[in-house]
Amino acid sequence: MSINLRLLAAGARAELRERPLTKISLGLEYPTISACRISVMNSQLLDSVLLQTDFPELKLHASGKVRDVYLLDQERLLFVATDRISAFDYVLATGIPHKGRVLTQISLFWFEFLRDLVPNHLITTDGGQYPPPLQKYADQLHGRSMIVTRADMFPVECVVRGYLSGSAWKEYKTTGRVCGIELPTGLQESDRLPEPIFTPATKATTGHDENIPFAEMARLVGPDLSRQLHDISLVVYSKAAEYARQKGIIIADTKFEFGRTAQGITLADEVLTPDSSRFWPADQYGPGRAQDSFDKQYVRDYLEEIRWNKQPPVPALPADVARRTSEKYLEAYHLLTGRDLDV
Ligand code: PZK
């Protein structure tokens, strides 16, 4: 049944690829959309996708494209990963089964793996220890949430890059530098860097984060703290990237967020997930071109195929694209941890 649906949807899209897109009428922006409704998501699996959280008992502390953070009390936050997925800067209309749990479990794996290098904000994932008003949401929260220590967050993104991609590749092409760091000449897109580099960014209130030179970071948060964040970020990335590489995943770059707690400089937010990093399948790696994304490639391919103009309204995903994407997240979790998530 599901195989037939998959084939049908793939066939329908292949047909549509060949159809000229010039004669779109009746206000239909994407001829594919109607065709792909063949494979609307209706399985039990896809019913359990969580797109929105709502805990009227709690005050929302921060909300992102994928994660929501609620205030529990002065010291603690409830951190929840939904099944939302973003692509080309927009959250799509369709969720990815298990994605929130996979991302949460990947962060938890790294918190444990890195615990000797840096303290982290995790307090507990044990629902039994959640405040009584949250007990009734246990099913929703299980596996995708954690209670964390509230930190005084530093207003910089600590980005580490082991490979030349994204905004760094753009900057390098025009200036030969990234965040003021001089790089060797003649590097190609996706090249591995001679050594990982620390390329901080400011959290822009609108649009994209802005890469800043280290000196600018030092002005923002102070030179001592900047040096410490630089050192911690590089050590953490290096240990994790070396491990992931042995498991078949290249972590091309990643973004850490740190804050201050009673434990000192503390690793917060999600850590080394496919959402906060570029994960590349190691067996397909080759410099001189952009790399396929480990997790989002089917989504991007589909959105290119339907020629989405990357403006609202955001498209829904066909069930087979969502399912194959879900499988990629589960695969990333399996490769990194050697464990399977209960599905
Ligand atoms: C915190 N963000 C980023 C934005 C998210 C996360 N432990 C903490 N203490 C205080 N603040 C934060 C954290 C963490 N983690 C992180 N914003 C505040 C962010 C949007 C959604 F899930």
CB atoms within 10 A of CB 321: 25
Tell me if 263 CB under 6 Å of ligand 1.
no
Q: Give yes or no for residue 132 having a pLDDT over 80.
A: yes
Tell me if 51 CB under 6 Å of ligand 1.
no
Residue type, 320: D
Of 69, 156, 158, the one to substitute when testing ligand 1's pocket (max ligand atoms within 8 A of C-beta) is: 69
Bridge partner list, 80: 68, 145
Determine the atom of ligand 1 nearest the C-alpha atom of 266: 7
Of 79, 153, 158, the one to substitute when testing ligand 1's pocket (max ligand atoms within 8 A of C-beta) is: 153
Taking the centre of ligand 1 as the mean of its atom positions, its distance from the CA of residue 256, in whole angstroms, is: 11
| CA gap 131, 128 in Å, rounded | 8
- Indicate the pTM of the whole model: 0.88
Tell me if 84 CB under 6 Å of ligand 1.
no
Cα dihedral across residues 113, 115, 120, 125: positive or negative: positive
Tell me if 144 CB under 6 Å of ligand 1.
no
DSSP state for residue 237 in the 8-state scheme = H
Q: Give yes or no for residue 342 having a pLDDT over 50.
A: yes
Question: Binning pLDDT at 50, 70 and 90, where does residue 204 land?
Answer: confident
Which region among 36-50, 85-99, 134-148, 309-323 has the lowest average model confidence (pLDDT)?
36-50
Which region among 9-13, 38-42, 115-119, 251-255 has the lowest average model confidence (pLDDT)?
9-13
